[in-house]
Amino acid sequence: MTRDVAVLGAGMHPWGKWGRGFVEYGVAAARAALEEAGADWRDVDSVVGADTVRAGYPGYVAGATFAKALGWQGARVTSVYAACASGAQAISTARAQILAGLADVVLVVGADAAPKGFFRPAGGDRPDDPDWLRFRVLGATNPAYFGLYARRRMALHGDTLEDFAQVKVKNAASGALNPNARYRSPVSADDVAASAVVADPLRLLDICATSDGGAALVLSSMEYARRHGAASPVRIRAVSTVTPSYPNTVLDLPDIATDSAVGKEPEGPGFRGSIARAAYEEAGIGPEDLSLAEVYDLSTALELQWYEDLGLCAAGEAAKLLREGATAPGGRIPVNPSGGLASFGEAVPAQAIAQVCELTWQLRGTTGARQVAGARVGLTANQGLFGHGSSVVAVR
Amino acid sequence: MARTSTPVVAGWFTGAGEDFRLLGTECPACSSVFFPREDGMCRNPGCACDDLVEVPLSRRGRVWSYTDARYRPPAPYVSDPELPWEPRALVAVELAAERIVVLGQAALGVSVSDLDIGMEVEVVAGVLDEEGDEDTGTAWTTWHWRPTGVTA
């Protein structure tokens, strides 16, 4: 029995700082995905929304919010929140419903309208909330954690600021070719070096912005796809949404301390590595099979970290892989051909869905100037707050 | 009179001067240490203990990594909007005995140029922010990391 689900359609509302509500972005993305799928909204059995915490109640019940905006038609509804992995959990939910035979056609939607500047916790005094505490007690913004990881890589592996800048240069060049990206101008290493330091050693152009945007997918059973003329659709073969293993010895957002390794010896590849490993195992592939990867480059240095966590190279060799051009367009394993978060900025609940939109279009061969030649297998990787992460494998 | 000193979070640290220590909890069954303190169940999935005991953490550790905040952090971080923002270093410190990494602000006056990965630092009492007037206000206290090579 196949465990694949078909991607009938993908759609986005372009990323930017548009100043409108998240519902508008989500509905635009949903309509684009439905149109690409050749499906009528009324044919959708189930709608799964990825929530935003920045828009009050409608954001907490995003599935219903989008369903109402598209016109109530009686579909089953689910809303999920998993920080930066919300979009992937929405895909995971849709896939589970399809594979369980509960739904034939599922619409997955995520959208956000982000504030200017740093992400911050919701209002009110909440001393039991680690996310509130790290701001109150330490003033530790998300870029502060990115700065810690970057500095550690420099000390451990000899990465340089120039290496980090070259990640931005690579991703900006791809983003310039992507009509859905927010930033569409080439960036030079000098531009990165001239931008302000935000969290030492990282500069403004090393760190992804916060953006407005929306992304959607129409997923179906393979049988439904065949019945409706999609003989060889892009297929989702794996969705990894694993949690960390105790003790988690890397200081992850939004924690003030790691787990202690005194009571139990750390095992396995670490959290990010375990996210990828579960996806590889579920899909029955390895890193050598990938045509491309879309990874969560919240910072330039984090993109390098992902190369190692995905097994594209050995630990400590990410900068070498970058310098060789292996992850650039035309390289052995292009990473972030969409332009990545460097070119999009993060629209939290939409971002992991947007990664799968890019895989879909790359695997169909419809991305024009940023096309990875002969793409057959793509993988996404993402990590967010509170032990969330995801990896999706799509094949053609 | 002076402002009343109050810990920004109750139960996370204790003492003053040389006796200042971070407070965590320890599992008597598996020896896992928790900071911030875990007062319910042990989070080691192979341990069923639910009777954690308070324990002071090592005073000294080594820098795991460091960074700084060049821009004013948003609320609930408290800073005087009337004053220009002064970059503040953040230090993640590995405590050898507890095998844990604990993040904290660096002591006032310590910048990223004073820090290196692997450098020895010690925990010291510090003031996070002050509110109200000199007589009736509150000084919110916290922990800071300070290189042991620095005397102040």
pLDDT digits (tens, 9 = 90+) for A310-356: 999 999 999 999 999 999 999 999 999 999 999 999 999 999 999 99
What is the number of structural domains in chain A?
A: 2
In a domain, A365, yes or no: yes
Same domain for A286 and A338, yes or no, is yes
In a domain, A153, yes or no: yes
Interface pTM (ipTM) of the complex?
0.96
Q: What gap in Å lies between CA A356 and CA A134, rounded to an integer? A: 32
| Cβ contacts from A onto B, under 8 A | 144
Counting residues of chain A whose pLDDT is more than 70, the rounded percentage is 99
Q: What gap in Å lies between CA B69 and CA B87, rounded to an integer? A: 5
Determine whether the interchain pair B76/A135 forms a contact, defined as Cβ–Cβ distance below 8 Å.
yes
In the stretch 41-60 of chain B, residues with CB closer than 8 A to chain A read 42-47
Amino acid at A245: S
In a domain, A123, yes or no: no
Per-residue pLDDT band for B1 (boundaries 50, 70, 90) equals low
Residue B73 sits at the chain A interface (C-beta within 8 Å):
yes
Residue B113 sits at the chain A interface (C-beta within 8 Å):
no
Same domain for A46 and A109, yes or no, is yes
Determine whether the interchain pair B70/A148 forms a contact, defined as Cβ–Cβ distance below 8 Å.
no
Please, are residues A77 and A46 in contact by the beta-carbon 8 Å criterion?
yes
CA angle (B24, B55, A252) in 5-degree steps: 25
Counting residues of chain A whose pLDDT is more than 90, the rounded percentage is 95
In the stretch 173-202 of chain A, residues with CB closer than 8 A to chain B read 196-202
Q: What gap in Å lies between CA B132 and CA B25, rounded to an integer? A: 33
Q: What is the full DSSP assignment across A296-334?
A: --SBHHHHHHHHHHTTSS-TT-HHHHHHTTTTSTTSSS-
Please, are residues B89 and B106 in contact by the beta-carbon 8 Å criterion?
yes
Name the β-bridge partners of A394: A236, A378
Mean pLDDT in residue range A254-270 = 96
**For chain B, domain boundaries:** 4-147
What confidence score (pLDDT) does residue A14 get? 98
Residue A140 sits at the chain B interface (C-beta within 8 Å):
yes
In a domain, A124, yes or no: no
Where does residue B149 rank: exposed (0-12), middle (13-18), buried (19+ CB within 10 A)? exposed
Check pLDDT > 50 for residue B152: no
φ and ψ at A257, to 5 degrees?
A: -150, 160
Nearest CA to CA, how far is B100 from chain A (Å)? 4
pLDDT digits (tens, 9 = 90+) for A271-322: 999 999 999 999 999 999 999 999 999 999 999 999 999 999 999 999 999 9
Same domain for A277 and A142, yes or no, is yes
Instruction: Count the alpha carbons within 13 Å of A99 in the hemisphere toward its beta carbon.
Output: 16
Same domain for A49 and A137, yes or no, is no
Largest CA distance in chain A: 58
Nearest CA to CA, how far is B146 from chain A (Å)? 15
Neighbours of A232 (CB within 10 A): 10
In a domain, A280, yes or no: yes
CATH of the domain at A286: 3.40.47.10
In a domain, A125, yes or no: no
Determine whether the interchain pair A152/B34 forms a contact, defined as Cβ–Cβ distance below 8 Å.
no
What confidence score (pLDDT) does residue B150 get? 59
Q: What gap in Å lies between CA B14 and CA B142, rounded to an integer? A: 10
Q: What gap in Å lies between CA B69 and CA B74, rounded to an integer? A: 11
pLDDT digits (tens, 9 = 90+) for A144-203: 999 999 999 999 999 999 999 999 999 999 999 999 999 999 999 999 999 999 999 999
Name the β-bridge partners of B23: B56
Taking the CA atoms of A239, A241, A242 and A248 in sequence, report the sign of the dihedral they define: positive
Per-residue pLDDT band for A115 (boundaries 50, 70, 90) equals confident
Q: Which domain holds residue A32?
A: 5-117+212-235
Check pLDDT > 60 for residue B151: no
Check pLDDT > 70 for residue A19: yes
Pick the closest to residue A115 from A81, A141, A137 (CA basis): A141
User: Cβ contacts of residue A187 below 8 Å, gap of 6+?
Assistant: A168, A169, A172, A205
Pick the closest to residue B152 from B113, B90, B106 (CA basis): B106
- Who among A117, A127, A147 is closest to B9 (CB)? A127
- Our measurement of the distance from residue A74's CA atom to the centroid of its chain's CA atoms, rounded to an integer in Å, reads 30
Residue A54 sits at the chain B interface (C-beta within 8 Å):
no
Among chain B residues, the shortest Cα distance to A197 is held by B70
Same domain for A268 and A255, yes or no, is yes
Which of A206, A246, A260, A302 is most worth mutating to test chain B (most B CB atoms within 10 A of its CB)? A260
Residue A144 sits at the chain B interface (C-beta within 8 Å):
yes
Task: Work out the mean pLDDT of chain B and round it to a whole number.
Answer: 95
* Residue indicated by tokens 């100037």: A369
- Our measurement of the distance from residue A347's CA atom to the centroid of its chain's CA atoms, rounded to an integer in Å, reads 10
* Strands B60-69 and B120-131, bridge-based pairing: antiparallel
